[in-house]
Chains A and B, each alone.
Chain A
Amino acid sequence: MNELSKDIILPDDTPVDLDAEFRNSNIQEVLAKLDRELIGLLPVKTRIRETAALLLVDRVRKKLNLSALSPTLHMSFTGNPGTGKTTVALRMAEILHRLGYVREGHLISVTRDDLVGQYIGHTAPKTKEIIKKAMGGVLFIDEAYYLYKPENERDYGAESIEILLQVMENNRDDLVVILAGYKDRMDKFFHSNPGMRSRIAHHIDFPDYSADELLVIAKLMLAEQNYRFSPEAEKAFSEYIPLRMKMEHFANARSIRNALDRARMRQANRLFAGAKKSLTKIDLMTIEAEEIYVSRVFQDGQVDLNGDELAE
């Protein structure tokens, strides 16, 4: 790429080829992948498109010497459990890398334990080490509200937040911080840390999935693992989803994954104990309706507590 010297002032009617820039960045490919693999989440996708557009225009502007401050890209993802916050964060790292906003495009996913130390003087080096690892990429802090515990004034979380704030301001070009957590608790967290709120430009809220979307997600998950529903099983599962959604501890896509894991287990059991001696490849791939109907959700309207439902 030929760098323009700073002294040259280009005429105002210099032609700009946004389309070529768009094609060169391969960003379309990432956005299409996002559309294909993430079901629903319309507000999130819109927001990602907008951010991508801003970064692209910024890049073209830079080529024409129209300097502007590099935009703040720190984000906060709020939403209920299992709505795809981590998955989107991973994609975000890839998108930012394609647009040349972060240099490496890796994602470091941490929680409170990785940032906050156990004794005085332990927190700062720990937080700094993580920050150094995340440089050139994206730092994803899951359940960020645990960083701040107002009930304990000797908690070291505040120290960690202080270092984070400083880095978010001074090393804006080096890393992007994404905070994630449940909506109400994150609101409380931002309320007690106004400095954090003002340094985060993008607050993205992840909506819950509808029953139809969850069914599509279930099929996608099975396809990834080379399984599939028989037509009856699909019908059974579409009955299962609304029942499960009404129950407690419902965690959107994560509950669906757990339900599918249990169905796979029952399928294996059926094949093992079954009378049918000559199995085919299709048998190994197909989940039948009986595997779904056995679920406790149908039996007595209760979550199968022996499953991993409560472990999350």
Chain B
Amino acid sequence: MMTNPGNQITQGQFSFLPPLTDVQITAQIKYALKSGWSLAVEYTDDPHPRNTYWEMFGNPMFDLKDPAGILMEINNCRKTFPNHYIRVMAFSSVRGVESPTMSYIVNRPKTEPGFRLVREEAEGRSIRYTVHSYATEKPEGERY
């Protein structure tokens, strides 16, 4: 897509910015912990924008006080899946919210081939549009 140089997928917070440094990630985790949210690390290699359910890396982390433990887990995940998308997710257990309140990408594949626009002829002369990720042409685990 010409409007998105580098074909970076833009999901969650901060995804239009340059990649976050570890210091910035730590600051964001600190904010989440201060707000009483519990964090989890998730990964995937399917970049489709509607792919919201990613795999969780290890267990969700409750009752932590300090960002160091979560950063350690992020680095573990980066070591295991250096070429996957990895995001940090903060979950709020406040009654009535009970859902993720923060989510941002902390690791991307080195090259992101991007998406192709698919046109489908439908009834009459109407056309349906969808996107297709070039990366998903290969099977899971071999995409990047």
Contact A129 B68 (CB under 8 A): no
Among B59, B61, B70, B72, the residue within 8 A (CB) of A171 is B72
Contact A131 B65 (CB under 8 A): no
Contact B69 A135 (CB under 8 A): yes
Contact A104 B66 (CB under 8 A): yes
Q: A-facing mask of B66-92, CB < 8 A → 1, else 0?
A: 111110110000000000000000000
Q: Considering the chains assembled together, what is the distance between the CA atoms of A133 and B67 in angstroms?
A: 10
Residues of B within 8 A of A143 (CB): none
Q: Does residue B27 face the partner (Cβ distance < 8 Å to A)?
A: no
Among B58, B59, B66, B73, the residue within 8 A (CB) of A136 is B66
Among A106, A125, A129, A171, the residue within 8 A (CB) of B65 is A106
Q: Considering the chains assembled together, what is the distance between the CA atoms of A137 and B63 in angstroms?
A: 13
Total interface residues on A, using CB and 8 Å? 14
Q: Considering the chains assembled together, what is the distance between the CA atoms of A105 and B63 in angstroms?
A: 14
Q: A-facing mask of B133-144, CB < 8 A → 1, else 0?
A: 000000000000
Residues of A within 8 A of B68 (CB): 103, 135-136, 171, 174-175
Q: Considering the chains assembled together, what is the distance between the CA atoms of A104 and B64 in angstroms?
A: 11
Given contacts A132-B72, A132-B73, contact A104 B59 (CB under 8 A): no
Total interface residues on B, using CB and 8 Å? 13
Residues of B within 8 A of A137 (CB): 65-66
Contact A133 B64 (CB under 8 A): yes
Residues of A within 8 A of B61 (CB): 129, 132
Q: B-facing mask of A107-133, CB < 8 A → 1, else 0?
A: 000000000000000000100010111
Nearest-CB distance from B38 to chain A (Å)?
11
Residues of A within 8 A of B65 (CB): 104, 106, 133, 135-137
Task: Name which residue of chain B comes closest to A106, CB basis.
Answer: B65
Residues of B within 8 A of A135 (CB): 64-66, 68-69, 72
Contact A131 B69 (CB under 8 A): yes
Q: Considering the chains assembled together, what is the distance between the CA atoms of A126 and B65 in angstroms?
A: 17
Contact B69 A103 (CB under 8 A): no
Q: Considering the chains assembled together, what is the distance between the CA atoms of A136 and B72 in angstroms?
A: 13
Residues of A within 8 A of B69 (CB): 131-133, 135, 174
Residues of B within 8 A of A125 (CB): 58-59
Q: Considering the chains assembled together, what is the distance between the CA atoms of A12 and B63 in angstroms?
A: 47
Q: B-facing mask of A82-117, CB < 8 A → 1, else 0?
A: 000000000000000000000110100000000000
Contact A133 B72 (CB under 8 A): no
Task: Name which residue of chain A comes closest to B58, CB basis.
Answer: A125
Task: Name which residue of chain B comes closest to A102, CB basis.
Answer: B66
Q: Considering the chains assembled together, what is the distance between the CA atoms of A106 and B63 in angstroms?
A: 12
Nearest-CB distance from B105 to chain A (Å)?
22
Most-contacted residue by chain B among A125, A129, A175 (CB, 10 A):
A129
Q: A-facing mask of B30-74, CB < 8 A → 1, else 0?
A: 000000000000000000000000000011010111111110110
Among A103, A104, A133, A171, the residue within 8 A (CB) of B63 is A133
**Nearest 9 Cβ contacts at the A-B interface:** A136-B66, A132-B69, A174-B68, A135-B69, A135-B68, A135-B66, A104-B65, A136-B65, A104-B66
Interface residue ranges, B against A (CB under 8 Å): 58-59, 61, 63-70, 72-73
Interface residue ranges, A against B (CB under 8 Å): 103-104, 106, 125, 129, 131-133, 135-137, 171, 174-175
Q: Would you give 5 A-B contacts (Cβ < 8 Å), ordered by A? A: A103-B66, A104-B65, A125-B58, A125-B59, A135-B69
Known pairs A135-B72, A136-B67, A174-B69; list 11 more (Cβ under 8 Å): A104-B66, A125-B58, A131-B69, A132-B61, A133-B63, A133-B64, A135-B64, A135-B69, A136-B65, A136-B68, A171-B68
